[in-house]
A and B are shown apart, each in its own frame.
Chain A
Amino acid sequence: MEALISLLIGVLTAGGVYLCLRSHTFPVVLGLTLLSYAVNLFLFMMGRLVIGKPPIISESATGYADPVPQALVLTAIVISFAMTAFIIVLALKARTEMGNDHVDGKGVN
């Protein structure tokens, strides 16, 4: 399972990096979304893979997953939403002001 998850994170990273290097705004936003998936998963996995032991205290529980990375990632998800929203609106603004959707505001790629 560990190898599979590592592969998954790797693929998400590779896709994110490639799309971030495109020269139009929308693919870059998609790339950032993929990258933030990868980063959130990676941070989350710092608590190692634990199945069926949510960190909710109960008498019958046999153990708990690490709550610290979870709390960290929970806010990270919300903040990356805010970041994505900010960037896409910035892209809209740039498109209006520059007349094109190139990341550097150039007319051609």
Chain B
Amino acid sequence: MDSSTDRIEREILLKAPRSRVWRALSNAEEFGAWFGVALKGKTFAAGERVRGQVTYPGYEHVVFDVLIVKVEPERLLSLRWHPYAVDPSIDYSKEPTTLVEFELKEVDDGVLLRVVESGFDGIPPSRRLEAFRMNSGGWDQQMKNIEKHVSTT
């Protein structure tokens, strides 16, 4: 299950103390702030389900619905969710989930954060295609927005 189509891996260097990065990840409210979900008053605890309304422009109708898998302070946070669950008329609960893992590693100039989302091979191909069609365009625009934001501040 480790094919090129099964997982997404990303690494980013964060020039901040480990405790700060961990707080941004493990504190539900802070997580929601950068991820774009309203999670005020919620907490992330292993084995618990967390839900919140997406605040991301254009996706406000989507409910962020995850199961927290592991919480290992300052080291690892993992959760499961339904990828591309953006159509409110579809019940995704019976479909397989993907696993998202945030792993922290301390390096000389900060924290190396690794994000791995895996399990896509278990998602029905028709859903993957549909999601691609629904998503493309909107996110490209958002990427341009952030580029603009970063380069002007």
Is B truly associated with A? no
